[in-house]
Amino acid sequence: MFDATVLLRLRPDNPTEHPALQWSFKGAAASSEEPKFITLDRFRVFRDDGLMVTRSPLRNAAFAETILTSGMRLYESSRMPPSAVPSCAESTGGRAFTYPVPAIDGKGHRARKVPVGIHAFRRLQAYQQLERLPALERKSISSSSDPLWINQSGGIMGIGGWEKVFENASERSGVKVTPHTLRHTFAVYMLCALLRRHHDSMKIKDNVRRLTEGGRSDVYATIFGDPLRALQRLLGHKHYETTFIYLDVLSADDFVIDEALRIFEDTLGSEEDYLDLIR
């Protein structure tokens, strides 16, 4: 939450990073080594100077941007089958397609649907056409069979392999990033978009209240839904309260989520990233 307020320039720093408070944030789920969040500008450096300076640049970039624009976990994204990627996108912006994470792959065996952004979709297409298919043809392996993500031998790219890819890319680029960093970054940017959307929707909220003479405040919730539940579903959290660290706004739906995904589309290929969020 505080990462998002810094991103939106509502405060200059994250107070939870103060040394005097670090003791209260340490625990089994905390990591003192892993960065919590990176800007999209830093991600581009990591991608261009780290991930793409390899023998499989399209694969690495596609995998990273899939996590970044969907919020999937490392294991979930690594298990995507080739059939998950459609031949054409659902739209020209925002959400390119929806991937149903199966229960067997989700944490706690919980299935959910996640949106994948258009920029990641284009990367996936390029990877499949220019790297994956030629590699499988050279090894006489069926292109329709699993896996989607292959290593240099044509076999499945395992968790350890991806961790090594990110570790090496971090060293080359000078920007430390793990797959979980990208998942957290997705959540923070989604939060920023929803905060801005919430600000814009306040007038609508007031109009609804006036139309109902203040006697049916539940109408607003009925129309706009619960964004905390939406983010909980997107991230696959078991507990509703876990999502509080990312989001504390009043309204979200598929349209808002699609709009939020446009952040990645608009900024991954430009010099400016999060500045557009506060304009």
Q: How far is CA 227 from CA 131, 190, 240, 274, in A?
A: 38, 11, 11, 21
Q: Are 187 and 246 in contact (CB under 8 A)?
A: yes
pLDDT tens-place values along the chain, 279 residues long: 666 666 666 666 666 655 454 444 444 344 344 446 788 889 999 999 999 999 999 999 999 999 999 999 999 999 999 999 999 988 766 788 999 999 999 888 889 899 898 989 999 999 999 999 998 888 776 666 668 999 988 889 999 999 999 999 999 999 999 999 999 888 878 776 765 665 566 555 565 555 555 444 444 444 445 555 666 667 777 766 666 555 443 334 455 566 566 666 665 654 344 344 434
Q: Are 51 and 181 in contact (CB under 8 A)?
A: no
- Give 38's contacts (C-beta < 8 A, 6+ positions apart): 46, 175, 177, 181, 185
- pLDDT at residue 61 in the model: 97
One-letter amino acid at 165 equals: V
Q: Which H or E run includes 121?
A: helix 118-127
**In residues, how long is the chain?**
279
- pLDDT at residue 166 in the model: 98
- pLDDT at residue 195 in the model: 59
- pLDDT at residue 52 in the model: 97
Q: Cis peptide before 115, with omega less than 30 degrees from 0? A: no
- pLDDT at residue 208 in the model: 52
Q: Which two tokens stand for residue 92?
A: 């020209």
Alpha carbon 26 to chain centroid, angstroms = 24
Q: Which residues pair with 117 in a beta bridge?
A: 95
Closest CA to 194 of 223, 172, 224: 224
Closest CA to 80 of 153, 162, 140: 162
Q: What angle do CA 5, 270, 170 make, to 5 degrees?
A: 75
- Written as one string, the DSSP assignment of 42-82 is HHHHHIIIIITSSS-HHHHHHHHHHHHHH---HHHHHT--G
**pTM reported for the whole predicted model:** 0.69
Domains of the chain and any CATH numbers: 40-178 (1.10.443.10)
3-state SS, residue 170 = helix
- pLDDT at residue 102 in the model: 93
- pLDDT at residue 149 in the model: 96
Q: What angle do CA 121, 127, 131 make, to 5 degrees?
A: 170
Closest CA to 189 of 144, 154, 150, 234: 234
